[in-house]
Amino acid sequence: MTVVGLTGGIGSGKTTVAKVFQALGIPVYIADDEAKKLMNRSKVIKRKLIALFGENAYVDDKLNRPFLADIIFNDKTYLEQMNTIVHPRVARHFEKWLKKQHAPYVIKEVAILFENGGHKKCDYVITVTAPKALRIKRLLKRETTSKEKIEAVMKNQWSDSEKLKLSDFVIVNKTLENTELQVKKVHAQILKKIA
């Protein structure tokens, strides 16, 4: 099964692009969503995160995301430690999911695909980009956060120029109409490559 990694900086529109691929009948695995589910479901992950961050890591048995975000985006070592707890389990979950898919290829959407070396496990990589100002505007509309917090997250991610050097395809996500056309074009190119 061909695995196509889908990545892009925060606010670039990975989710929008993923939905267009889904509409074309391509199964999409959203690693961040699965990670969140596992962080709430897995007793092992819970135990390890509480050991790392303290009792405040969970409130009413649910992951305390604002509390963790404040810590991990201000201290990279905590972010790395959390990733070593969560990522291996997400990888195993993805392998199980992959075995159940019946499509020409699958999309694996990962925010930090390059940062964690995940691109090496993909056959192809698509990077979604958008101008920084547009990304910030989207995020401020979507989430209750500040421009400073968004920029702190952006600092922890690779720049677009670094990502593009290692990408097979690039989708510039400014307008939905144009993005849909680009996705269809990339979809056709992938089908051609794996035929």
What is the SS3 string spanning the chain? Answer: CEEEEEEECCCCCHHHHHHHHHHCCCCEEEHHHHHHHHHHHCHHHHHHHHHHHCHHHEECCEECHHHHHHHHCCCHHHHHHHHHHHHHHHHHHHHHHHHCCCCCEEEEECCCCCCCCHHHHCCEEEEEECCHHHHHHHHHHHCCCCHHHHHHHHHCCCCHHHHHHCCCEEEECCCHHHHHHHHHHHHHHHHHHHC
Of the residues 47, 69, 100, the one at which a domain ends: 100
Of the residues 83, 100, 117, the one at which a domain ends: 100
Instruction: Provide the annotated binding site.
Output: 11-16
pLDDT, tens digit, 9 for 90 and up, residues 8-35: 999 999 999 999 999 999 999 999 999 9
Residues 125 and 48 in one domain: no
**Containing domain of residue 76, as a range?**
32-100
We report the CATH number of the domain holding residue 149 as 3.40.50.300
Instruction: Provide the annotated binding site for ATP.
Output: 11-16
Position 144 scores a pLDDT of 76
For the whole prediction, is pTM greater than 0.85?
Answer: yes
pLDDT, tens digit, 9 for 90 and up, residues 41-71: 999 999 999 999 999 999 999 999 989 988 9
Position 156 scores a pLDDT of 78
Instruction: Check whether 143 has a pLDDT greater than 80.
Output: no
pLDDT, tens digit, 9 for 90 and up, residues 119-139: 999 999 999 999 999 999 999
Position 7 scores a pLDDT of 97
pLDDT, tens digit, 9 for 90 and up, residues 158-186: 999 999 999 999 999 999 999 999 999 99
Position 153 scores a pLDDT of 82
Residues 55 and 16 in one domain: no
Residues 76 and 112 in one domain: no
